[in-house]
Structure formats: structure tokens, C-alpha cells
Amino acid sequence: MTDIKYLLGTVALLLTLWGCKEDNSDWIIGSNPNEFAVLPVAIPVSADGGTYEITINGNDTWTAELTNSNSSVENWCTLSETSGNGRKVITLTVTPSTSFMKLRSLMIEVKSGSKTLKSKVLQQTMVLGEDEVLINGMVWSTKNVGQPGTFASSPDDQGMYYQFNRKTAYPAGPQDDPAPANWPAQYTDEETNWLPENDPSPEGWRIPTTAEMVALWEAGATWVSKSQTGFKTDGIIIGVPASVAQQANKDNMKQLGCLFLPQSGWRNENGVVDRGWLVAVRSSTSLSKTHGGMSLGDSGGYRDVWGWGDGHKVRAAMIRPVKNIQLED
């Protein structure tokens, strides 16, 4: 009981002294610009990253370094200055997170003379955007590529068609739709994978590899009607077993963790829309000289990543991109 009385008396005395001070600023940590301090002592960072100010107080020289990072990604945090003299405001720059699991963290250590002060950085994990779905550990867009650098308007919009390793967009159309005016008279096969500079995906996205498309098909691909899904066309629910796909509609796709690929076909070597009853999607790795990484599905549920003999590079098909992220330990 005696100890409690002393404790209460001490607290009361501190409150009294605090109340007697005309200026309470001296009681705020680091408020005196002449005393060595680093503010803030903790920096919460969003998944999107950004820039943050760090104030270093004091009159002496100091050095700053980043230590104890738990991420395998290099330079995810940088400082605008790592040494100086006296009071200074420096900038911390944090890149967007590339993980749905890891909370990135590190320490900012600032040394001045014999003293070392620390500030901790903790970054949130990635979150899925409104038009993104996580399948096989990858972020897939719910929409096809439209004009280069853009997305189609909706998941049931075929978007634009692209030849293998080409960034020129050709319009979708009904079966036997004639070749567009800009259809090339000749296609030159460089026998190469799809080069990054020719990728028409929006910034931060890329054409999936053939292996990634294969894994997506193998996760499940079920033909569905527009009467079931509410989309404007028939197509394939992909990324989940048939039992789940049969429950899918345009309002619960993200909840179920699946994608809708609209019935599309492709433009053949003459630029005419062919196989309009199929779903045909381009990927970024050539399976052979003739098959430009095209993955197919039809109304009977048939799937063939080899293109069923018709997936030649000259043909143009829709693209469903994946997010270009770096996985980290």
C-alpha cells in the first residue's frame, strides 16, 4: 500500500510541474532542435509505397543507414541522404510491395558521436485491386488487353487481337469478319519469344507465359453460357474446378477466385475472324515455329495449349495479362 501511495504522489507531482510550465514543448520527444533525435520513431507504409520525411535533430555530424531488412528485394527502401551535419529533413522512398504474405520491415539507424537512434519501417502487404484475381500465386487481370497499354471495358469484352510478338492491335469481330485495313500483307517469323518491347499489356502487366497458361487451364476450365453468368457472351470459367465454375456469375467471380474468358476465336493468316466459337488466348512463349503460344478452349470443353493445329504465329488473338510482380522471400 505504501508503494502505491508513493507512486500516486510521484505522478501527481509530475502533473503539477507539467501544468506549471508556460511552454510544454520541452516535454515532447525531439522538440529541441539542438538535441540529437530522429523522428518519427516508427513509419507505417502502405502497400503502394511512397515517400516519407524523416527529421534528424542536433548540431553534430551524423550518418544514416538501412539495416535488418527482412525482404529479398534489393533497394525497396532508399534514403535521400545518408550523412549530414546538424538538423536536417531527409526523404525515405519505399517501392510498392510485391508480396501478399510478407510484411516488409527494416531499421533506419542514425549515428551521431557515441549515440545511435533507430526508426522502424513496416510496410503492408499487397492487396488485390478491383479488377484482379489471385490464381496459382499470380495476379491475373479480369479483363483482356484493349488498345496497347489499356484494358478492355469489361471481362466479357474480347478487347483487341494481337499477332505473336507484335504490338499492333486488330479489332475483334463476328465469324468471317473481313480483314481490317491495317492487316499486314506478310508476317515475318523471327522464331523468338515475345519480346518485352512488343508487349501491348498496360504498364505493370505482361503477357503470361505458356507455362502459366497451362497451369491456369489445369486448375480448371469450364464452358459456361451467358444465361448462367449474366455476361453478354458465352465463354470459359477458368482457374477453378467445374463444381465451382457452375456457381459462377459476373457478380461473384472475384469471390470464387476465377476468371471469365469470352468466346472469341481469332483472326487467321488472311486477317479474317475464324473459329468464332472458341476461346483463344495468346501467351508470351512460342511452343514451336508455328504455334505462337496460343491456348484454346471450345464449347465442348476441349482444351489444347498447342493450338489444335491452328495456333500459328500469324494469327491474332486476345490477351489476358498477368501482373508483373517480383516474388520475394
State the amino acid at position 36 in one-letter form: F
C-alpha distances (whole Å) from 257 to each of 130, 139, 186, 245 are 12, 11, 41, 10
Instruction: List the alpha helices (DSSP H) in the chain.
Output: 2-20, 210-218, 226-229, 242-245, 253-256
Say how far apart CA 68 and CA 296 lie, in whole Å: 47
Q: What is the pLDDT of the chain when averaged over all its residues?
A: 87
Q: Is the pLDDT of residue 50 over 90?
A: yes
Instruction: Name residue, grid cell 475483334.
Output: 172
Are 306 and 293 in contact by the 8 Å Cβ rule? The answer is: no
Q: Which residues pair with 213 in a beta bridge?
A: none
Q: Which of 40-54, 163-177, 248-262, 283-297 has the lowest mean pLDDT?
A: 283-297
Q: Is the pLDDT of residue 116 over 70?
A: yes
The torsion of the CA quartet 213, 218, 219, 221, rounded to 10 degrees, works out to: 90
What per-residue confidence (pLDDT) applies to 99?
A: 81
Q: Which residues pair with 38 in a beta bridge?
A: 56
**CA angle at 207 for the pair 304 and 226, rounded to the nearest 5°:** 60
Instruction: List the alpha helices (DSSP H) in 126-260.
Output: 210-218, 226-229, 242-245, 253-256
Burial class (CB in 10 A: 0-12, 13-18, 19+), 3: exposed
Per-residue cell: 40: 518519427
More confident residue, 168 or 129: 168
For residue 30, the surrounding DSSP H or E stretch is: none
Q: Is the pLDDT of residue 19 over 60?
A: no
Q: Is the pLDDT of residue 1 over 80?
A: no
Domains of the chain by start residue, with CATH: 28-123 (2.60.40.10), 132-323 (no CATH)
Q: Which residues pair with 112 in a beta bridge?
A: 115
- Indicate if the alpha-carbon torsion angle 189, 190, 196, 197 is positive or negative: negative
Per-residue cell: 25: 514543448
Grouping H, G, I as helix, E, B as strand and the rest as coil, residue 25 is: helix
pTM: 0.72
Q: Is the pLDDT of residue 163 over 80?
A: yes
Per-residue cell: 26: 520541452
Say how far apart CA 225 and CA 248 lie, in whole Å: 11
Per-residue cell: 328: 520475394
The per-residue pLDDT for range 82-100, each reduced to its tens digit, is 999 999 999 999 999 988 7
Name the residue among 243, 270, 267, 248 with its Cα closest to residue 259.
248
